[in-house]
A = this chain, B = another copy of it.
Amino acid sequence: MNSTATTTPEELARPTIVSLAVVLQVRNGALQALLWERAREPDVHRWSLPGGYLLEPESLEQSIRRHLASKVDVRELAHLEQLETLSEPDRQPEEWQIAAAYLGLVPADQDPVLPPDTSWHPVGGLPPMAFDHAAVVRAGRDRLRAKLSYTNIGFAIAPPEFTLSELRDLYAAALGHRVSATNLQRVLVRRGVLEPLERHRTSAASGGRPARVYRFRTRRLAVTDPFAVLRPQGSGSR
């Protein structure tokens, strides 16, 4: 059987198709996921990822953007990428669903108005989750953590402008461990990811030197540390 036969066989599988999103944001110093509380069986009162059915004719990315629009304004999503596609026939009890999972990131300065059944939950310490959604949240968190190391994806969790301590706190929350502002600055400036502005943030009531304001040079995903090893010969050491 070939993927492109002109006549479609009868015994074809016709699972329903949904798109899901792990929407992450750093809130109150913790990485949090946008979850939605189920109102009916199965898995009543368990929490699940936002998303829903694919409609005619739209791509999966259009689908997840459309579904998310009822939770958060699409303009608040600084980044959206595909995570994985789940297809185990028994992953949902009632019907066979194929689910394309996406990772969405919301900058820390946004505070979307949420519908009543929806709220943010720290990814460390998730509430009881429906179906296989807890694993998807972990996959999203891991993808973000990995990309923070070798891409400029920080732009998607940070506001347009920020001080280095603010950025350090965002990275620390997302990565789940302490981060040094000193070294974070050096790494990101050396790679050309961060750009210092001339402006400074006035110091807090407790005093302290005013912090310089930075921004990401570009707010589109780019790989900044392409080859860990095994670079082409003669391309210089890192």
Chain A positions near chain B (C-beta within 8 angstroms): 1-6, 8-9, 11-18, 20, 36, 38, 40-43, 48-49, 51-61, 67, 82, 84-85, 87-89, 92, 94-100, 130-131, 148-150, 171, 175, 177-180, 184, 187, 225, 227-230, 232-233
Copies of the protein in its oligomer: 2
Query: Is the CB–CB distance between A13 and B54 below 8 Å?
Result: yes
The one of B13, B59, B85, B149 that contacts A230, using a Cβ cutoff of 8 Å: B149
Q: Quick one: closest B residue to A90, CB to CB?
A: B57
Query: Is the CB–CB distance between A184 and B17 below 8 Å?
Result: no
Q: Quick one: closest B residue to A57, CB to CB?
A: B89
Q: List residues of chain B with CB within 8 A of the CB of A232.
A: 175, 177-178
Q: List residues of chain B with CB within 8 A of the CB of A92.
A: 4
Query: Is the CB–CB distance between A4 and B48 below 8 Å?
Result: yes
What are 27 A-to-B residue pairs whose CB atoms are below 8 Å? A1-B67, A3-B48, A3-B49, A3-B51, A3-B52, A3-B53, A3-B97, A4-B131, A8-B16, A12-B54, A13-B54, A13-B55, A13-B57, A17-B17, A59-B88, A59-B89, A60-B85, A82-B85, A85-B85, A148-B230, A149-B229, A149-B230, A171-B230, A177-B232, A178-B232, A179-B233, A180-B233
